[in-house]
A and B are shown apart, each in its own frame.
Chain A
Amino acid sequence: MIVIDPHTEEVRRRQRARARVMGIALAAFVVLIFFVTIAKMKLYGSL
């Protein structure tokens, strides 16, 4: 029978939650930079 230490389980849960938030933030950052680039290209007449 595998016994999971509740402390280790809590550490894993928090690490997973932080990784998920970091992933979402990075994806949002990429999308933001994409739109900034498009807007700047339109502004300076490259598009």
Chain B
Amino acid sequence: MSRMNSAAIESRTPALPAEWRDFIALTKPRVMVLVVFTGICGLLAAPVAPPPALAFTAILCITVGAGAAGTLNQWYEADIDALMKRTAQRPLPAGRMDRDSALQFGIMLAVLSVVVMELATNWLAATILAASILFYVVIYTMWLKRRTPQNIVIGGAAGAFPPLIGWVAATGTVDPLPLLLFALIFMWTPPHFWALSLFVRSDYAKAGVPMLPVVAGVRATRRQILVYSVLMAAVAVAPWPLGLAGAIYGLTAAVLSAVFILLALATLANKATEPAGMKPEKRLFAFSVLYLFAVFAALVVDKWLIG
């Protein structure tokens, strides 16, 4: 059979519709866990407790909104995802789904999450949710990611919104504590992502993404990790002396931030340039996830035990 005939047959054969699991994969469920957790903590730390059905709906909307942002990110980045080992098996680069389906799914989730948030809670929470989705998709994914090594610094704001949204969904107002929680995640994001990008730097270089280790080098990235870790520690502890949180939160944040800085120092002391020798970076990356969970959990425990 000639090549033309086989191509013609192939074009007549309808492509398989995507599996429903692939739609779930588009939403980046693993990333969502941290987003949802910080959103729940923001809501639980608020001085007002909304009715359980409305609180549940607010968290669901944050979850679906994060899923929408992840989906639209994968829709836009299918070309570079195909070039990186870590992302090549996602539904779009692996050819298990067409881009239009991903785009429609992402827009539907975004609209649904914002509209239901407004119906269940208030317009301010819905507006911040819409802004966070737009920020992640337009400012980070479409504008910054392929243009500047500071992409993650500014883009990190998108992931910092959930505790603020959770708080605003409960209270209807923006207060100093959720703003500090926003700042905490904003400062946490660069060391978290740069630790990861140090040991997957060849992937980013291959895809042409100007992550800091690719553009400025390994040494400069390790210095920046330490600078942001110190800033993050200051923001993390701040609610305690400001009287916005109690000693349980303050001491937990202080101890964990000290460990974070020690791990950042160990990263700075590391001379390895190949992933095999980057144990301190891998340790910092793993600890950074645990750190955020623990600090936010401490805030909720502090609020519920001390009030």
Q: Which residues of A contact B (CB under 8 A)?
A: 7, 10-11, 14-15, 17-18, 21, 32-33, 35-36, 38-40, 42-43
Contact = CB atoms under 8 A, between A and B. Distances in A.
B19 A17 contact: yes
Interface SS majority for chain B: helix
A20 B261 CA distance: 49
19 contacts: A7-B13, A10-B16, A11-B14, A15-B17, A17-B19, A17-B20, A18-B17, A32-B116, A33-B119, A36-B53, A36-B54, A36-B57, A36-B119, A38-B53, A39-B51, A39-B53, A40-B54, A43-B51, A43-B54
Interface string B46-64: 0000011110010010000
Given A14-B17, A17-B19, A32 B54 contact: no
B124 interface: no
B83 interface: no
B234 interface: no
Chain B: interface size category: 10 to 19
B68 to A, nearest CB: 14
A1 to B, nearest CB: 23
Contacts of B60: 32
Contact of A14 (B19, B52, B116, B119): B19
A14 B16 CA distance: 8
Contacts of B119: 33, 36
Given A32-B57, A36-B57, A36-B120, A42 B16 contact: no
A12 B267 CA distance: 52
A36 B115 CA distance: 13
Interface in B3-55: 13-14, 16-20, 51-54
Contacts of B14: 11
Given A11-B14, A32-B57, A36-B57, A42 B19 contact: no
Given A14-B19, A18-B20, A32-B60, A39 B54 contact: yes
